[in-house]
Structure 1
Amino acid sequence: MALSDTWLKGQLNKERDKVTEKADRDGLSARISAKGKITFQTRFRLPGHTDQQRLDLGTYTELTLAQARAQCLKYRAEIQFNNAPRVTRRMEQLAIGGADSLIALFNEWYEKSTALCARKNMATSSAGLKYIYSLRSVSCRLNQSPCTNG
């Protein structure tokens, strides 16, 4: 019998004697810990390998059943192209981690704001200079590197 949202809600946070697992379709299953935590997993076998492998997709409530099924199908499609699902997932995680950091975003904003201030002639007033230098000092503290005033 396939997993259902109502069944998952009923099993969530229910203590039990041992870890249980209920299969869905397309290699998706839900593992329920002794404390009642539900984790979605996908089972797969890479071409040329005889051993079955598992990949945790996420926990229930953070990941819905529909989302888990979609992820499972996505990783099964990767296997058809001879790509290992673990490698694909790690590449996705690295792509997210490669996004601009707070420091890079602040520096980009700082450069644009000082250019705007220069065009509006804010830097000639004492208030404008104080504003620009205070922003620069915040940027230097975020970078944790010595800055030159200028």
Structure 2
Amino acid sequence: MSDLYFTTDLFSQFDRLHQQMATLFSGLPSSIRSDRLSAFPQINIGTTDDTIDIVAFAPGIAPSQIDVSIDKGMLTIAGERAGVTSGDAGDGNERTRRYAQERFSGPFRRTIELPQHADPDKVEARYVNGCLHISIGKRESSRPRAINVQ
């Protein structure tokens, strides 16, 4: 039986490998349900004791062009964002040909999985200054409550 000796610390090599792997995969989604980085509309989700609040950033879209629905615990925000024509680009010249476009246009759909304690019968949606505010009530059984000790 021979003794094996390593000239470097094996655990430091594993640590270095772990850091390299973390750096390699840091830009990828953390789960299979994660959306791509350029998903539209971008959203913020928060919660209070009584509601789940979602803000979808959708400037330049008429409220009548946005559809919000809940089915089987999934909230879907869908609609269509009109494109900008050459004459609308702000240059006043309809002959201008566009060679770069950073603003998304066309149909969109964003689906968000809701927590189990979301109550689909208690939903309010309003569109203010380019932001779609959706408030979903929580079920009574999931709300915090004080319990008297006897």
The answer to whether TM tops 0.5 is no
- More strand by percentage: 2
Q: Which has the higher contact order (CA 8 A, sep 6+)?
A: 2
TM-score (norm 2): 0.28
- More helix by percentage: 1
